[in-house]
Structure 1
Amino acid sequence: MVVSKTKFGETDDKSVNLYKITNSNQTSISVLSYAATWQNFEVIEDGQKHPLIEHFDNLTDYIQTPYQVGKTIGRVAGRINKAHFTINDVNYQLKPNDGQNLLHGGNNGLQYQNFDAEIDSDNSVIFSHVVDGEDGFGGKLKVKVRYSLNDDDEVAITYTARTNHDTLFNPTCHVYFDVGEGNIRQQQLQINAKRFLDVDDEKIPTGKLLATTNAYDFKNFKKIGQGLKQLKPMDKFEYDDAFVVGDKAATIKNDQRAVDLYTDRNGLIIFTANPKDSQKASQYDYDSLAMEMQTLPDAINQKDFGETVLNKGQRVSYTNKYKYRKL
C-alpha cells in the first residue's frame, strides 16, 4: 500500500494537495484537501485503467462546478425546509440559498473549505477543518474526514465531528458514479429500498414515505435508462430522489464491474447528471449518477427520519463504504 502527495493547485494563497492511495491490486483513490474531495477511483482490469467516478483534472473546475463533484457536503447534506429548525427549544433561522430553503448547509459549507490534511497510515488520509458559526449554525464544529482503501478494493469514508454548541451534522460525499465510461443509461442499478420520500415542488420532504414501484423500483437490478423511461409518463426526466435504505444500500454495475455501497445511516439520494456538459444535461443526456449516503434530508423537521442533532460536547462518527468488484 502506498500513499503519495502532490500539489493540485492553490486557493486563497494556500496549496491544495492531492493524495493518492494505491493498494496491492493497483486499485487507487485520489482525494483533495479542497472540500475533502474524492477526486478519483481507478481500477486496473486486464492492464487497462478504468475510472469509476466522475472527476475533474484541475482545481478551477472543482471550485466553479455547481454540482459539488466528489466533495464533502456539510454541515448538513440535502435541504432544510425554510432554512429553519429547532434544537432543545431554541429556534435557528438560517439564510436560505435555495429559494426559501437551505441546501447542503449553506454557501459557506464544508464543500467550499480547504482542509488540513495528514497521511494517517499506509492506506488512509485524514482531512480536518473547523467551521465556526458559518451560515447561521451555532458554535464551533471540528470535523474530520478519513478516506481509506484496503486490499479488498473497499473505500471507507468516515466522518467524525465534535461541537461546543448544539448543532446539526449530516455530511455526505457528493460522488458521481460512472462504471461504464459515460453510458449511464446502460448501467444497472439496484437499491435495497422499499420506500422513498415524497417531496413537494421545492424538493422538500412532505413527511410521507412512498412505496418503491414502477420508475422507483430498483429492488432488483434495472438499467438506469429503463427507469428514466418509466419517469416520462409522470412528466419527469431525471432522478433526484431519497430512498430509505439499510446497511447495504445499493449496487451500480455494468457487464464488467460493480460497486457496492454500504452505510450506517438510513438514506441514499440518487441524482442523474452531466456535470461536465451543461448543454447535454439540459437535454437529459446524463453521464453519471450521484449516490449520496446520509441521514434522510430535512430529518430535523421530520419525525422518524433519523437523528442529525449533535449536542454540545458530543462526538459522532459515520462511515460510508464503497466496494469494487470485477464481474
Structure 2
Amino acid sequence: MHRMGRNMTVKKTIFGEIGTDPVYSYKITNKNETSIDVLTYAATWQNFEVVEDGVKHSLIEHFDNLDDYIKTPYMVGKTIGRVAGRIKDAKFSINGVDYQMTPNNGKNVMHSGDHGLQSQNFDSTIDSDNSVLFTHTVKGEDEFPGTLTVEVRYSLNDDDEVQITYNAKTDHDTLFNPTCHVYFDIDDENIRQQQLKINSKRFVDVDAKKIPTGKLLATTNAYDFKNFKKIGQGLKQLKPLDKVEFDDAFVVNKKAATLKSEHRAIDLYTDRDGLVIFTANPVDALKAQNHEFSSIAMELQTLPDAIHHPDFGNTILLANQEVSYTNKYKYRKLN
C-alpha cells in the first residue's frame, strides 16, 4: 500500500507474524530520500536512514527480522510504557489510593512490567502523507490501574525531522510516562568517537539498584556534557567511580541534546524534563560483556520514578483526562 504526497511516500509491508497476528512495517520517505521504518510490534522505530552523496547511512541500531526484536532484552527501538524506567518497590499512590504491581526487577518494577506497550502489537493506519498512527488499549496488565488508550504517531517532514507524539486517555487514575528506546550510532566510527552534548546542569542520583534517591547532582566530570565531548572520554572518566557504562537520567528542557560525528548530527528535542542515556551493545552479547559498546540509547521522558519525587515532574494521568507528549529528532548533514 502506498500513499503519495507531493514529496512524501508511505509504504506498508508485512514484517513478520506473532502467532497468527501480522506485524506490519511502514516506511516513510521524504523528498531528500531520508526515511524511517516503524513496526506495529511495540510501535518500534526500526530504522532511520539518510542518503548522502548517493550513499545510504543508517543512524540507529536495528534488526532486520522480527525474532530479534522479540528476543532482545534491550528493547531496541520499542515504545516503552505505560511508564519508562523503574518504579521503586513496584508500588505508588495517587490521591491517597495505594497500588501494588508485580516486581520484575528485584523488588522494583522496570518499564511497567512484562506486559507493557513494548510487548504489544499495535493497530495501525497511515495517518497522512508523512505519518503513521499506532493505537493500543492497555487493560490493567501488570496491575496498573485503569484502561488506558494509547496513540503513538510517527511522522517525518522534509526538514529531516522525526516526530513521535504520544497521546493517552484513561478511565481511572493511573501513570503515563512513555518513551522510545532508540539506540543511536550515527557513523561508521566507533560510538566512543562520536561526540555528545547534553543541555543539562543536573542529573539524577541513584542507589545500587539504579533507583533514584531523590537528589539531583551537578553534571561534573564524567557527567558533564554541557559542551561536546567524545562518549569514550566520558566512559574513561567513569573508571575512577568504578563504573563501566552510562545508564543515567539528565534534567533537560526543550533542546535536550545533540549527538554528532564528523559527517552528521542528530538534535533531540522534548516537551518533558528528562533524557536517559544508556551505552550498550544490543547486537553482540560477547562485546556487551566486555563493554565494547555499539550504540547509545537516548530516551526522552519525564525523569524516572517521578511518582515518588514530586519535583521530578508529573506522570499522573487522572481519570477522563487526556495528555500528549512529543519527542523530536532532527538530522543534519555537517560536511
What TM-score, normalized to structure 1? 1.00
The Cα offsets for residues 93-122 of structure 1, whole Å up to 9 and x where unpaired, read as 100000000000000000000000000010
Pair 1:7 & 2:9 matched:
no
Q: Does 1:39 align with 2:46?
A: yes
**Could you say what secondary structure the match of 1:304 adopts?**
helix
Q: Summarize the Cα distance change of 1:182–1:15 in structure 2 as closer, same or farther, 3 Å threshold.
A: farther
Partner of 1:322: 329
Runs of 4+ that moved beyond 2 A: none
Q: Give the Å deviation of 1:23.
A: 0.1
- What secondary structure is seen at the aligned counterpart in 1 of 2:307? helix
Q: 1:95 aligns to what? A: 102
- From 74, 82, 92, the counterpart of 1:75: 82
Is 1:182–1:287's contact at 8 Å kept on the other side of the alignment?
no
Separation in 2 of the partners of 1:176 and 1:27?
18
Distance, in Å, in 1 between the alignment partners of 2:254 and 2:327 is 9
Q: Secondary structure at the match of 1:76?
A: coil
2:290 to 273, 283, 286: 283
1:231 is aligned to 2:238: yes
> What is the aligned counterpart of 1:203 among 207, 210, 216?
210
Q: Does 1:65 align with 2:72?
A: yes
RMSD of the alignment, in Å?
A: 0.5
CA distance in 2, matches of 1:274, 1:78: 19
Whole-angstrom CA distance in 2 between matches of 1:200 and 1:91: 24
Residues in 1 aligned to 2:20 and 2:178: alpha-carbon distance in whole angstroms: 27
Alpha-carbon contact 1:274-1:281 (below 8 Å) kept: yes
Q: Residues of 1 paired with 2:271 and 2:80: CA distance?
A: 17
Query: Aligned letter for 2:258?
Result: T
Secondary structure of the structure 1 residue equivalent to 2:236: helix
Q: Is residue 52 of structure 1 aligned with residue 82 of structure 2?
A: no
**1:173 equivalent in alignment to 2:180:** yes
Q: 1:143 aligns with which of 136, 145, 150?
A: 150
Matched residue type, 1:80: I
Corresponding residue to 2:199 among 189, 192, 199: 192
Structure 1 residues 45-85: Cα deviation after superposition (integer angstroms, max 9, x where no partner): 01100000000000000000000000000000000000010
Deviation at 1:12, TM superposition (A): 2.5
Alignment correspondent of 1:163: 170
1:122 has 2:125 as partner: no
- Aligned residue in 1 for 2:3: none
Following superposition, the deviation at residue 186 of structure 1 comes to 0.3
Aligned partner (choices 264, 271, 283) of residue 264 of structure 1 = 271
Q: CA deviation at 1:199?
A: 0.2
Cα distance in 2, alignment partners of residues 209 and 289 from structure 1:
22
Query: CA contact under 8 A between 1:182 and 1:288: conserved in structure 2?
Result: no
| Structure 1 CA distance for aligned equivalents of residues 235 and 252 of structure 2 | 21
Q: Shift in Å at residue 182 of structure 1?
A: 5.8
- Check conservation: 1:272, 1:288, Cα contact below 8 A: yes
Q: Which residue of 1 aligns with 2:111?
A: 104
Q: Secondary structure at the match of 1:97?
A: coil
* Aligned partners of 1:141 and 1:161 also within 8 Å: yes
What letter matches 1:321 in structure 2?
K
Structure 1 position 272, deviation (Å): 0.2
User: What number of residue pairs does the alignment pair up?
Assistant: 327
Cα offset, 1:303, TM superposition: 2.2
CA distance in 1, matches of 2:278, 2:108: 19
The two structures have a TM-score, normalised by structure 2, of: 0.97
Separation in structure 1 between the aligned mates of residue 216 and residue 37 of structure 2, nearest angstrom: 37
> How far is the alpha carbon of 1:305 from its aligned partner?
0.4
How many Å apart are 1:13 and its aligned residue? Answer: 1.0
What's the counterpart of residue 223 of structure 2? 216
Structure-1 separation of matches of 2:214 and 2:177: 18
